[in-house]
Amino acid sequence: MIIAKRAARATTHLRLKRGLSSRASGILSALNIPTNQEISGVYDGQWKGSGEVVESVCPTTGEILARINTASPADVSGALTKSREAYLQFRDVPAPRRGEILRQIREGLAIKREELGALVTLEMGKIRTEGVGEVQEFIDICDYAVGLSRMMNGRVVASERPGHTILEVPNPLGVVAVLSAFNFPVAVYGWNLALSLAAGNATIWKPSPTTPLTSIAVTSIVAKVLEKNNLPGALAGLVTGGQPVGEVLVGSKEVELVSFTGSERVGRIVGQAVVSRFGKSILELGGNNASIVMPDADLSLAVPGVFFGAVGTAGQRCTSTRRLFLHRDIADEFLERLQKLYGALKPGDPLETDTLLGPMHTPAAVNLYKSTIDYLRSIDADILFGGKEYDVTPYDGGNFVQPTIAVPKSVDMSDRIWSTETFAPILNVAIFDELEEAIRWNNAVPQGLSSSLWTRDLRNVGKWTGPSGSDAGIVNVNAGTSGAEIGASFGGNKSTGWGRESGGDAWKQYVRWSACTINFSNEAPLAQGVNFNVD
């Protein structure tokens, strides 16, 4: 039996070795990812993986990039134990020392920035500058967290009692599980790891089952730094795999904080599971983002802004522009100019520097695109551009679709075409007469991630950013819905989950807060003048 298994494995290795294109093998070798054997997808200080074997498939060519040994239930529970031990050691390391570790991780990432970016492109399918941009985002948040490690301050609160002082003290939280989506296979983990490590926690990562190689390459870089500093590798553990692996982490009392990025459907399950055991969660879920273009907008900014928002990453960003509300006065001109840009777009290999449109991530994503186009046709929407798959020679094994602009007849925002996030490059357009109407539409969907208004009129800006304005977590003016920076906290409201990550005050979620009253007097008065003396 064992011999038969070995023989089967040997054949697999041979097939892998022969099958891999030089396009792929160059990138994998530059990151020391073996191309002739199955790869360990679990790291808890040691590399292992005794669970299901999954394939990493290139969305551009359809070729199998590698086979990965993912985590078994025993691997996950072993990794959680190691994470706990690592936390118990790390929590006593002073925060600025933890910052120094992050500085070294930042250096490790910077050295491999281009290679790692190329791997993101190879495995996820986004274009090269976006792949490298994601790694840059991880580098940036490390810089931020290095500074933060000297500024994660509590507060001194004025006490009403004489001779007393109250401190609000942040301490490390414990083990943080990061469950991430396929479309940002580096940056989302980076945002979490940087803040979590700076805060003194151990982090355990379950990436998307379709981007295991990227997570292995990132973890290898981080692990080397930990090793060099004699710190336990389980401070940055990795458990690859699918839903069952995620479920163990989400349900485990050993995990103080679950930071989940993914769809609303799964986020709802995860949120409920975590709250049922009184754990903490950060939910970063789907977006259904709108751009509103006023008649006074500078169209030379607005048209390319909407174009990038709708088509960038082949429409697979949580912040992608999915709804476009055009003022009647500029609608025709706007759509004409937008269609010209769509027409100039050429799909191709996202690794090539001049490609702007790569593939969808999976064949399932293509099916979602196709069924949504069918639905648009069934409701008699005008399809102004696109609506089909692309045959991209020589990448006929790839998942290419035409970015689509549609004008549904109805502007009823409760119709599924408006109210659900379709994770594909489909932009639905509606025409409005008054800003208030467009803001109402903007707010009328369950999601509340990103939104953008194009105008040069200060009065519109005030309305848009004020109490009767956009109810999203990201409210932009003359900037598209996608393309956030790490300095501000990132996240959405309503069914996007209310989570905040990255900059701003996001770090405060990665610590446990204690209010500490210290009496340095010779009396012990009670607050609010309460008297509890027996005599």
| Active site (catalytic) residues | 284
Q: Is residue 42 part of the contact set for ligand NAD (CB under 6 A)?
A: no
Q: Whole-number minimum distance, CB 381 to ligand NAD, in Å?
A: 22
d(CA 519, CA 162): 9
| 126 burial type by CB count under 10 A (0-12 exposed, 13-18 middle, 19+ buried) | buried
| Size, binding site for ligand NAD by CB under 6 A | 30
Query: For residue 416, how many other CB atoms are within 10 A of its CB?
Result: 10
Amino acid (one-letter) located at 449: L
- Sole window of 36-44, 279-287, 330-338, 407-415 interacting with ligand NAD (rule: CB under 6 A): 279-287
Interface pick for ligand NAD out of 119, 124, 250, 366 (rule CB under 6 A) = 250
Q: Does 80 bind ligand NAD (CB under 6 A)?
A: no
Report whether 183 contacts 361 (CB < 8 A). yes
**E strand segments, 333-457:** 382-385, 404-407, 426-432, 447-448, 450-454
Among 181, 294, 303, 431, binds ligand NAD (CB under 6 A): 181
Residue 77 CB, shortest distance to ligand NAD, in Å, is 16
Q: Kindly state the smallest distance separating residue 248's Cβ from ligand NAD, in Å.
A: 9
Q: Where are the alpha helices (DSSP H) in 162-238?
A: 187-198, 212-228
Strand pairing partners for 477? 453
- Closest residue (Cβ) to ligand NAD? 246
Span from 14-22, 97-105, 120-128, 240-248 in contact with ligand NAD (CB under 6 A): 240-248
Site string for ligand NAD, 463-502 (x = CB under 6 A): -----------------------------x---x------
Go through 353-367 and write b for each residue having 16 or more CB atoms within 10 A of its CB, e for each that does not: eebbbbbbbeeebbe
Which range of residues in 98-106, 145-153, 202-210, 369-377 is near ligand NAD by CB under 6 A?
202-210
Shortest distance (Å) from residue 455 CB to ligand NAD: 26
* Dist CA 85 CA 229 (whole Å): 17
Among 62, 242, 446, 525, interactor with ligand NAD by CB under 6 A: 242
User: Binding to ligand NAD by residue 211, rule CB under 6 A?
Assistant: no
Q: Are 269 and 283 in contact (CB under 8 A)?
A: no
Residue of 35, 208, 313, 443 that binds ligand NAD (CB under 6 A): 208
Find where tokens 């269609």 sit.
339
| DSSP code for 347 | B
For the chain, how big is the Rg over CA atoms in Å? 25
- Distance between CA 102 and CA 428 in Å, rounded? 42
Point out which residues bind ligand NAD (CB under 6 A).
Answer: 179-184, 206, 208-209, 242-243, 246-247, 250, 261-263, 266, 269-270, 284-287, 318, 421, 423, 449, 492, 496
